[in-house]
Structure 1
Amino acid sequence: MKNYLVSSRFLLLTFLLFTSAASLLYMLDSVSYTNMINNRYINKNAVEFIVNTEASSLDIDLEEPYLLMQYKLDNPQLKYIYFHPSVKLPPINYQKQPLSTDYIITGDVFPEEALSRNMKSLVIGQFDTPSSYLNREAWYIVMSQQINLKNGTKFILNVESGNPHQLIEKIFPNTSYQLLENEDRGTAILKSNVLLNVFLLISVLFVIIAQAVTIHYSIQSKKPIVQILFLAGGKWQLIFLKVFKLEFIALFVIMLLEFLSLKAFNHFYTIWGNQWYYVSVFYILVTFIVYFLACLLMTKSLIKKGVRLF
């Protein structure tokens, strides 16, 4: 009976569906990340604004992940970059490894004469972003958390999650600023990308439906066993444990393997925000909880109705 209680088909399908969901979510994030790179590394939820203040400098004291771009209105190609250490920078070919001091990354077509002699000495690499607007820019990576407003009063704030407007208030407390309307740039608005996102979202929905159907049929297959054990005089708690314990253990092992695989993959293939990783973990946990509750309710319901089939 133990072999019958643990459905290898259900476990295999669950593992494949978990993997499929994570893969689709990663592809969704990858499309957004590619669009972000093509759009000067500006996220779709980024906020652009101009600061109006007489102060010469401001300090950044944030625990949340962020990437802040600063530049002058008459020289938008040279940007001063402030970022949280956990934030992923765009692909870069380093000629020298960055140290704890300021450094500059340039694009392939950025004019070197636009940099002063002192700035040229700080260049340690180039953007590895073919066909991106980043190739026309230079990033001055500022290691200090103090913003020098002489370097510009226009800013673009990228955040991985949450409300960027709240972070603006934290970065520039008691400071007047003017929000600017975001422009549609890069490849995000291309019809092919929009259709790809729709296709991936539909695929994720299909996986969720397939997961629900798999859970339903797995539970239905256990009903005859629950009936037999109840007629034999077993209590519902013992019946529940006897019928589902081994399968729950197997599911837990699958979850653990999935979590370890996702963690390793996320470590080697990190993208902006890693939302796919958190959503995948949430999806797997919710699936396990839903299956547990559905099995529990089915067992209690059958016994309460006198072991009558639904």
Structure 2
Amino acid sequence: MTTPFRHRDTGPIRPVADADIDVPEDLTVGQVAALVGVSVRTLHHWDEIGLVRPSGRTPADYRVYSGGDVARIHRVLVYRELGIHLAEVARLLDDPEVDEVAHLRRQRELLTDRISHLHEMVSAVDRMLEAKQMGRPLTPQEQSEIFGTEWRPDWAEEAERRWGDTPQWTQFQQRTAAMSRKERQQARADGETLNADLAAAKRLGVRAGSAEADVLAERHRAMISQAYDCTYSMQVCLARMYVEDARFTAFYEEIEPGLAAWLRQVIEANARSHGVDPDTATWQ
């Protein structure tokens, strides 16, 4: 027996193979509507346009549907489910020159191709969901939403080369991948605000080790910790990179001349106050 399918508007539709069997004669429009899963209004419309007209009448002169009429309705539903306009459906059903069986076979082939394509799309979505949950790498656009338009993709490559085998890198991938676009944009805004505050403090002559400088160092570490758990020792390693890697130095120099070196001093002084020796600090 053919498997039933559901029409987008009308609910379950019985298969065409069942249309010519066990269908009582002289069904009212309401009975047919309940039987095939369409509205009474739809059946009235099909009657008005001549697509499916009830062929019988009761003694009281009410129009009723025969088994053959119901079979025609099922064929209409199949064609409509395939996306064929009602005018074309009427031509297919009424033109004796049309090979309806051959046409249905062709439509079945098209449906099979569509189902195969949809299965491929489902698989692609599944892969995207898995990547999102597992923490796949950020796209360049997503990176810029977090780190700003000045962010360069090779910085992420450098970070992966240095720390790709660490738990922190895994955290970074997972946490940033799970961020919504709004959260990424907020992280970028927070970073820009912090950089502006760092530059302002440097211009004002805030000294490393002061209470104000320590607050800024803690804000910097908290910002990094949104992506992965950043210890004081790790923060010192980052600050060291800001000075030793020309690409990072240029980034901070553009914000404020001398900012990279000043930020390193601030971070190292704060780490020292928490028992970390900047000279021997490692990624741990």
Q: Tell me if TM exceeds 0.5.
A: no
- Structure with greater helix percent: 2
Which TM-score band applies after superposition, normalised by the shorter structure? Answer: under 0.3
The structure having more radius of gyration, on CA atoms, is 2
- Structure with greater strand percent: 1
